[in-house]
Amino acid sequence: MKKGIRNTGVLLTITWLSILLLACGNQAITPAAGAEDSKAATETTETQTTKEETNEGETRIFKDWTGHEVEIPVNPKRVIYHGEVTGDLLALGVVPVGILRQEGTVFDDQVAQSEDVGFPISVEKALDLNPDLIIFSNSDEAQYDQIAKVAPTVTFDSFGLIEDRMRILGDLLNKKQEAEDWITAHQKATEEMWTQLHENGLKEGETASVFTMYPGNRLFVMAGAGLPQLLYGKDGLKPTAEIQKVLDEDMGFVEISTEKLSEFAGDRIFILDPVTDDAKQSTKELLDSTIWKNLPAVKEGKVYRFNIVKASSDALSREWLLQELPKQMIQ
């Protein structure tokens, strides 16, 4: 996916997918954020300010995703995270004081005491929380300028690869070792999951597609975030030729008509069940259609359904998916 201004305010109140689709779409206006961005985001210099024996009170300069050089605390204590991957911070042992809340995640209980700072982020709510660091998953400079008055604020690419995100957050939050430990454990668990699936019928080279319905009876193929990132990873399933074209264009998704389903459908199909009632009804109508029932994966019983909120991109949702995929795919 590509880096650019994210403007998801209108649709956020409808469904969590609103963040995903519109954010990815707006990213497509500038060159892709890849390894160079991740490398730049971690190039920092440290400046000690007060105490020599402890990190308390020390600050350093951090260069963020969109190029700001920000003086941040070496050991932040009151963090606001505004974005789609709160579970990344939780996996590092950091519970933000403020978040962009979405009900129905796999980590709802862990953020029960975190304040919802809203969308767009409320400057007033942020001030009330007295943060010492704000992590802002957005490249909108107008919003950035407002919240940067509250506390040191860094932008963060929440659509980057999970390993890159964890290392950047590990650096930001003084949790570098925790980040490396999580990545190591995650890579091991992922390898073990794919080995288990291959031992139970998954063939090399099998393709997969991820579909979801959006309000307004709109059908999307998901390609570059969340569940597809896991499916198309090392040792995993492959994108179909049409989905590969989407990925080659650095797009996170594409809207298609039902008539084109057969062109995008893989050997295995994954449905992300939506949040809103009208999208749920559209999903039911799709699954009852003749076009759907004639897809080879449907006929062979290789269709798997996941709640779109639980099957998110963050680290804790990824841990959940590593457990849930085998439960559904191994018959």
Convert the pLDDT of each residue in 7-58 to its tens digit. Answer: 333 233 333 454 444 444 444 333 333 444 444 444 443 443 333 345 678 9
Question: Mind listing the domains of the chain with CATH numbers?
Answer: 33-174 (3.40.50.1980), 186-329 (3.40.50.1980)
Q: What is the pLDDT of residue 171?
A: 98
Our measurement of the distance from residue 22's CA atom to the centroid of its chain's CA atoms, rounded to an integer in Å, reads 13
Report the DSSP pairing between strands 59-63 and 44-47.
antiparallel
Predicted confidence (pLDDT) per residue in 61-77, tens digit: 999 999 999 999 999 99
Q: What is the pLDDT of residue 54?
A: 54
- Of 17-21, 123-127, 157-161, which gets the smallest average pLDDT? 17-21
Contacts of 58 (CB under 8 A, 6+ apart): 46, 47, 48, 49, 50, 51, 73, 74, 75
- Is the per-residue pLDDT at 295 higher than 60? yes
Kindly report the pTM of this predicted structure: 0.84
Give the C-alpha separation, 269 to 65, whole Å.
34
- Is the per-residue pLDDT at 174 higher than 80? yes
Among 177, 142, 171, smallest CA distance to 39 is for 171
Among 170, 180, 185, smallest CA distance to 44 is for 170
Q: What is the mean pLDDT of the chain?
A: 87
